Amino acid sequence: MNETRTNRVLLVEDNPKNLKLVRDVLVHFGFDVVEATSGEEGVRLAAETSPDLILMDLQLPGIDGAEALRRIRADDTIARMPVVAVTAFAMDHDRERALQSGFTGYVDKPISVRDLPQQVRDFIRLGAAS
Ligand code: MN
């Protein structure tokens, strides 16, 4: 039997254009998408909607992506969720910082519409195996 449950992705992104782009791509490829536009809302929806993966923008109003991640990792009920940083700068030290902060991985902005669905599948598989 194949796994038929729809994979749910929580997007935490304050930029409406970026949010729409990523949402449209993931919905097109059959993902169930939940959206948050601040870090606080992201942490709350992580607990309320049990996503298989969180895609977390780093620069957000209120708490930033790293602080939102810290709060998720500090909550036993959601601590093990895979959380992937969306890094605004294609620079090695920003990627390195994301990994050191405890993110599961990163995807670079601008998002690659072509690559994103497979990247998301891979991160979800990684999370399910851990
Ligand atoms: Mn942002």
Mean per-residue pLDDT, 35-62: 97
Asked if residue 107 is part of any domain, the answer here is yes
Per-range mean pLDDT, top range of 65-79, 84-98, 100-114: 65-79
Mean per-residue pLDDT, 69-79: 97
Asked if residue 29 is part of any domain, the answer here is yes
* 4-30: pLDDT as tens digits: 679 999 999 999 999 999 999 999 999
Mean pLDDT of all residues belonging to the chain: 92
Inter-residue contact 33 to 9 (CB < 8 Å): yes
Asked if residue 99 is part of any domain, the answer here is yes
For residue 54, pLDDT over 60 is answered with yes
Cα 73 to averaged position of ligand 1 atoms, centre (Å): 21
Task: State how far the Cα of 55 lies from the Cα of 89, in Å rounded to an integer.
Answer: 16
Asked if residue 37 is part of any domain, the answer here is yes
Asked if residue 2 is part of any domain, the answer here is no
- CATH number of 19's domain: 3.40.50.2300
Which residue range(s) make up the domain with 28?
Answer: 8-124
Going by pLDDT thresholds of 50, 70 and 90, the confidence category of residue 96 is confident
Task: State how far the Cα of 2 lies from the Cα of 48, in Å rounded to an integer.
Answer: 26
Asked if residue 87 is part of any domain, the answer here is yes
Residue 83: φ, ψ to 5°: -125, 115
Token output for 109? 């902005």
Cα 33 to averaged position of ligand 1 atoms, centre (Å): 18
Asked if residue 130 is part of any domain, the answer here is no
Cα 130 to averaged position of ligand 1 atoms, centre (Å): 29
* 23-35: pLDDT as tens digits: 999 999 999 999 9
Asked if residue 19 is part of any domain, the answer here is yes
Cα 88 to averaged position of ligand 1 atoms, centre (Å): 8
Cα 14 to averaged position of ligand 1 atoms, centre (Å): 5
DSSP 3-state assignment of 108? strand
For residue 51, pLDDT over 70 is answered with yes
The number of distinct structural domains making up the chain is: 1
